[in-house]
A = this chain, B = another copy of it.
Amino acid sequence: MDNLFAEACANGRQAAVLASVESLLGWDERTLMPPQAGSYRAEQAAAIAMLVHRQRTSPQQGERLARLADSPLARNAPADVVATIRLLKHDYDKQSRLPPRLVEELAKTCVEGQQAWAAARAESSWPKLAPWLERIFALKREQAACQLPDRDPYDALMDDYEPGARWTAVAERFHRLRGAIVTLVQDCVGARQRPDDAILKRHYPVAEQKAFVHEVAARIGFDFGRGRLDTTDHPFCSTMGPDDCRITTRWDENFLPTALFGVLHEAGHGLYEQGLPRGWYGLPPGEAASLGIHESQSRLWENMVGRSPAFWEWCFPLARQAFPEALGGATAQDVQRSLMAVTPSLIRVEADEVTYNLHVMMRFDLERAVVHGTLQVADLPEAWNERFAKDFGIRPPSAAEGVLQDIHWSGGLIGYFPTYTLGNMHAAQLMAAAERDLPELEREIAAGRFTGLLDWMRRHVHQKGRLLESEPLVEAATGSPAAERWLVESLRRRYGAAHGLA
Interface residues of A, Cβ cutoff 8 Å to B: 14, 17-18, 20-21, 24-25, 28, 32-37, 39-41, 43-44, 47-48, 51, 224-228, 240-244, 246, 281
Contacting residues, chain B, for A48 (C-beta < 8 A): 21
Given contacts A24-B25, A24-B28, contact A226 B37 (CB under 8 A): yes
CA A227 to CA B35, docked complex, whole Å = 8
Q: Chain A interface mostly helix, strand, loop or mixed?
A: helix
Q: Which residues of B contact A34 (CB under 8 A)?
A: 224-228, 243-244, 246
A241 lies within 8 A of B20 (CB): no
Residue of B nearest to A20 (CB): B44
* Chain B proximity of A50: nearest CB distance (Å): 10
Please state the number of chain copies in the assembly.
2
Please report the C-alpha to C-alpha distance between residue A281 and residue B37 in the assembled complex, in whole angstroms.
Answer: 13
Known A-B contacts A14-B47, A24-B24; the reply to A40 vs B225 at CB < 8 A is no
How far is it, in angstroms, between the C-alpha of A32 and the C-alpha of B32 when the chains are bound?
11
> How far apart sit A39 and B18, CA to CA, in the bound complex (Å)?
15
Which residues does chain B contribute within 8 Å of A226, judged by CB atoms?
Answer: 34, 36-37
Best-buried of A37, A227, A281 by chain B (most CB within 10 Å): A37
Shortest CB-to-CB span from A13 to chain B, Å, is 9
Shortest Cβ distance from A207 into B: residue = B207
On chain B, the residues within 8 Å of A40 by CB distance are: 17, 20, 241-244, 281
Q: What is the CA–CA distance of A224 and B33 in the complex, to the nearest angstrom?
A: 10
Chain B residues near A224 (CB, 8 Å)?
34
List 19 A-B residue pairs with CB atoms under 8 Å apart, sorted by A's residue number. A17-B40, A17-B47, A21-B21, A21-B44, A21-B48, A24-B24, A24-B44, A32-B228, A33-B244, A34-B226, A34-B227, A34-B228, A35-B225, A36-B226, A36-B243, A37-B226, A40-B244, A41-B241, A41-B244
- Chain B hits for A25, CB < 8 A: 21, 24
Which residues of the partner chain B approach A240 to less than 8 Å between Cβ atoms? 37
